[in-house]
Structure 1
Amino acid sequence: MQANGEHQNNNDLIDIDPSPDNALEYMKAFTSAQATRTEIYHEFESAINDHANGIISVDEIQQVIRVSQEGFQDVSSDILRQEELLKKIGQTNLSNIIRQVQNLEKEKLEVTVKLLSCRLQAVQRPEISYQAEVEEYTTRRQQLIDSINDVMEDARAEMLEL
């Protein structure tokens, strides 16, 4: 904090060196955060399935949802930081890759929540068929995962060139 109590601008905190080594470090931080996001998804989905199957309680699933949301927010903040750093050193192609992943991940989260909600409703209300919705969301989610994987392959190829 500065003497007047205002936060310093990030530009004041970081002396940016536009070398390829820094770009590679920023991309490594991005891919690490992306791997963390994938782990959070797996834990989240596993807990939702456990709840749907009566293995964990409502209180426990609410706790998992809270922790998952915090984890997703932390990961997203880390990734946004890497995107900004890459922009500042003129690596717009790399920052654009990160932006693509972020947009796809946002949509994947929305579709995942809808899918898991349908699965829960199907368990709670077996008299109503949610099969069409579950299939639609499952298909869209897989398309998004495939797209994310393709963009991550592009990211790895770009990293090899650094």
Structure 2
Amino acid sequence: MGQRWRALVVLAIALFAVNVVARLIIRFAFDGDEMAADRVTLGMFVVIGLILGGVAFSWGQRHPVSQWGVEVAGAIGVALLLTMLIGPLLVGQSPFASGSATFFWQVVLYLLAATAGTFLGYLLLTTLGRDHRSQALKRYAERAGTKPRRIVRR
């Protein structure tokens, strides 16, 4: 059980670290250039989606979705809270410096990127037939096909 919590904490910290790196790049390399800041932010969302796609692909092979889906959603929630409330403070801004509308749009975009990455990773895994359920059905078909039929006498 400790290994699973450790993996979830590492996932949340990795997602938060991606945001902190993006904020630092915007702050020191593109201060005042809105177009470049938007590109870095888009890149951050793509990286977050790729990380979560890889997590869904990896964890979906070993565990059913009902088990890892809730855990990944919790890690995304923790990373989102850290990103929205602590992230701006690390670069010397307030979380609501740009207004509440911008704050909530960032939350929506973060959740969209996280959901899309997770969904696409699991969709790829399912398409390849390597997900937990497909593997269980494959094992069942192999096991059921190899047993000879038993003749029942009455």
TM-score tier by shorter-chain length is: 0.3 to 0.5
For normalisation by structure 2, the TM-score amounts to: 0.40
Q: Who wins on radius of gyration, i.e. which is larger?
A: 2
For normalisation by structure 1, the TM-score amounts to: 0.38
